[in-house]
Amino acid sequence: MKHVPLCTPSHAGRVRRLALIGMVAAFAAVVTVSAPGLASDRQDRPHHGSSAAVVNWNAVASAGLGTDAALSPPVMAVGMAYVEAAVYNAVVGISRRGPMYRWHERGPRGASTDAATAAAARRVLLHYFPVTGARVEAAYGQALDAIPEGPEKAAGLSFGERAGDHLIAQRADDGWFAPVANTEPPAPGVWRPTPPAQAPYLAPWLGEMTPFTLRSSDQFRPGPPPALTSEEYARDVREVESLGSATSTTRTARQTEIARFFAGHLSIQLQDAYRDHVVRHGLGASAAARYFAVATIAGADAVIAAWDAKLRYHSWRPVTAINLADTDGNDATEADPTWAPLLVTPPFPEYVSGHTTVIGAVTQALRKLDGTRVVDLNMQSPVTGTTRHYETSRTLNNEGIGARIWGGIHFRTADEVGRDVGRDVGRWAFQSFD
């Protein structure tokens, strides 16, 4: 199959892929695909093995969460993990094509996995995200209309509800939106609200959440960032000051495009890419549910691990570091009170980078899942209006690291350490589904 050339925009290809995914969503209950082996789940009967319902409900959840103004990309990443964990258990509990996610109950053989998927996703979405209610109920009604009445449908709906209920009970009191105080006073090296909005610390509670697979949020906590007086810190500052400035004359056009490409909503970008991958590769229901669950849960635990480090080290952002360099005690840095980054700085501490931690975790988990270095992801950006094809995890990780430096919102150390933490998280998360 011919892919979009590496890192080359392809509007026509993007349109074709979006059209294909739209067709899958429209015919969620009746489209059937097949391919050999567990990776594709051979499908012989409608409503028992089609991946269309799994893809469709990922799209419903992603659209609902992605348009909720209260949910930032890292918060959405965790929210999607709730949905995909429940859907995974609903599907494999019936198909018996994989280990359950922290559950041991199996569904009745022959039950409709399409019905189970719809019921599980609906139950979780309405519980955690009631604002999506109208969208979810409309999708649920359409899904049920497309499934023939009978005991298979009824059994699937019942088991899907149980899968959703189990996930909700399991995650009770996990720290979701629990209040966490930001008590670190401003000082050299310490995070503070950044221009232009001067917004308060976003979702510090993420750093104290119960992870989905990790033993604790600090399981892979890295060591501290470079000392303000170190040469490594000075190198990081000088690099971002030159390449990440809004008015940089050293950043190339390609670097600017990549920085802007990743300036959008990473959680939406990744979920879109997962659906595209599942459709193009013809995965069946169990394999698709596993793919979504592995990638999404790895990403959620990466967010939790990254926010643990942010909450622990509370490091200031490049814009603050450069504006106030005369307070850092480092003779190798020089203050520029007028310096501003290419991108708007997110409202939370710098170390480690959430973007690179998530990308590192997702690519590592998908590599383990497929047993290869190839991730074959087509990612889209509404900011640039382009699609970039990432054949390997290395390319995606490297561009994720560069993007945050060229955008002026992260230091290289935070990016690279984030990637390494993410890889550890991804390997660990995959074990839950192996």
Q: Coil, strand or helix: which one is 379?
A: strand
Give 249: exposed, middle or buried? Use CB within 10 Å, 0-12, 13-18, 19+.
exposed
Give the mean model confidence (pLDDT) for residues 355-365.
98
Residue 140, CB-side half-sphere exposure with 13 Å CA sphere:
21
pLDDT at position 228 is: 98
Contacts of 35 (CB under 8 A, 6+ apart): 42, 281, 282, 283, 284
pLDDT for 92-120, tens place per residue? 999 999 999 999 999 999 999 999 999 99
The rounded mean pLDDT for the chain is 90
pLDDT range class, residue 68, cuts 50, 70, 90: confident
Instruction: Determine how many CB atoms are found less than 10 A away from the CB of residue 142.
Output: 16
Cβ distance 5 to 389 under 8 Å?
Answer: yes
DSSP state of 208: G
What structural domains and CATH numbers belong to the chain?
32-170 (1.20.144.10), 205-431 (1.10.606.20)
Instruction: Determine how many CB atoms are found less than 10 A away from the CB of residue 23.
Output: 13
pLDDT > 70? residue 172? yes
Q: How many residues does the chain have?
A: 434
pLDDT at position 307 is: 98
pLDDT > 50? residue 25? no
Give the mean model confidence (pLDDT) for residues 23-43.
34
pLDDT > 50? residue 147? yes
pLDDT for 390-406, tens place per residue? 999 999 999 999 999 99
Which residue is listed with tokens 């979701």? 176
Query: Tokens for 388?
Result: 């970039």
Q: Coil, strand or helix: which one is 185?
A: coil
pLDDT > 80? residue 38? no
pLDDT > 90? residue 18? no
Residue type, 128: Y
pLDDT at position 69 is: 74
**Phi, psi values for residue 145, rounded to 5°:** -60, -30
pLDDT at position 91 is: 98
pLDDT at position 274 is: 98
pLDDT at position 184 is: 85
Beta strands 386-392 and 374-381 are: antiparallel
**Could you tell me which residue, 322 or 1, shows the higher pLDDT?**
322
Q: Measured between alpha carbons, how far apart are the two ends of the chain, in Å? A: 28
pLDDT at position 28 is: 35
pLDDT at position 201 is: 95
Radius of gyration of the chain (CA): 22
**Could you tell me which residue, 333 or 45, shows the higher pLDDT?**
333
Distance of CA 180 to the CA centre of its chain: 23
Query: Tokens for 140?
Result: 């649920």
CA 306 – CA 311 distance, rounded (Å): 9
Between the CA of residue 196 and those of 283, 347, 408, what are the distances in Å?
Answer: 45, 10, 14
Which residue is listed with tokens 């012989």? 44
Distance of CA 350 to the CA centre of its chain: 18
CA 316 – CA 86 distance, rounded (Å): 37
What's the CA angle centered on 169, arms 167 and 173, to 5 degrees? 110
Query: Tokens for 268?
Result: 């939406």
Give the mean model confidence (pLDDT) for residues 361-375.
95
pLDDT > 60? residue 10? no
pLDDT for 282-336, tens place per residue? 999 999 999 999 999 999 999 999 999 999 999 999 999 999 999 999 999 999 9
CA 413 – CA 220 distance, rounded (Å): 16
Lowest-pLDDT choice from 33-42, 169-178, 206-215, 390-399: 33-42
Instruction: Determine how many CB atoms are found less than 10 A away from the CB of residue 69.
Output: 6
pLDDT at position 67 is: 87
CA 248 – CA 259 distance, rounded (Å): 13
pLDDT range class, residue 48, cuts 50, 70, 90: low
Residue in 386, 395, 323 with CA at minimum distance from that of residue 360: 395
Which residue is listed with tokens 């074990």? 431
